[in-house]
Amino acid sequence: MSGLRSFTRFAAESGLTPSDLTAAVPKSFGRKTALIPTITAEEEELLLAAVDRTTTVGKRDFAMLLLALRLGLRSIDIIQLKPTDIKWRTNSISIIQQKILRRLEVPLLTDVGNAIIDYLLNGRPESNSPYLFLRIQAPYINIAPRGGIYNMVALYMEKANIRQEIGQRRGPHCLRHSLAARLLADETPLPVISGVLGHANKNSTKVYLSTDSEHLRLCALGLEGIEVSSKALS
């Protein structure tokens, strides 16, 4: 914008335009929309396939990945999830979100529930800890809130060769974003997506509009009616 205003002033002073057009150039522009990091459905399958579900750590990691991919839970809420938060009779998970301290209830999808059961029966070490997901080595306490899930997700992304270019963001937030992108592509209303993700402010969900390239193409304006001839440019 600054460069364009300088050019219009130059054009007016040089007599290239009949009047000074500087006032027509806005002095500020709209807020930039951040590009949200996501992974495709094919990459999701590669990510899950990278987990060795025959091992104790694999059973735990697979369940945590599904909680982020299928339900969009934040990493801190996955770490602090308790067995009592899982309502098996109603097939739901009910938690108090640590970030905004608001209750969130999401459906317990079949694949997520099966992964949790597999971990509880065949992977979780015996412990008096109230938390569901525990460290693999003693002491059997809950996973460290800093870096615990991020490092796990980044490891499996590396194994699956997903988002490995320099500067590409990784971690559990990509999985949460991917759920929102899928819902939006399926034409799920923004208020519903906001409820699924547990946003305190519904406007927070608007950032995911940048991920829906197919519907954004429908908003693109053509050049019909505003064509510029080569004569006009000379």
Whether 182 is catalytic? no
- The residue annotated as part of the active site, out of 87, 99, 146, 215, is 99
Cα distances (Å, whole numbers) of residue 74 to 6, 10, 79, 96, 201: 47, 53, 9, 12, 16
- 208 in catalytic set: yes
What would the two tokens of residue 45 be? 């399958």
Active site residue: 163, 176, 177, 182, which one?
A: 176
Among 5, 135, 159, 173, the one annotated catalytic: 173
173 catalytic? Reply is yes
Residues whose CB is less than 8 angstroms from the CB of residue 179 and which lie 6 or more positions away in sequence, other chains included: 68, 69, 70, 71, 72, 196, 197
Q: Left (φ > 0), alpha (ψ -120 to 50) or beta: where does 59 sit? A: alpha
The answer to whether residue 74 is catalytic is yes
Could you say which of 60, 163, 182, 199 is catalytic? 199
Known active-site residue 215: no
Residues 6+ apart with CB under 8 A from 193: 180, 183, 184, 205, 208
Hey, what are 179's tokens?
């759920």
Instruction: Indicate the angle between helix axes 56-71 and 148-159, nearest 10 degrees.
Output: 100
48: amino acid identity, one letter? L
Task: Determine which one of 74, 124, 177, 182 is catalytic.
Answer: 74
Sequence-ordered list of residues with C-beta below 8 angstroms from that of 126, at least 6 positions apart, any chain: 140
Q: Which residues are catalytic?
A: 74, 99, 173, 176, 199, 208
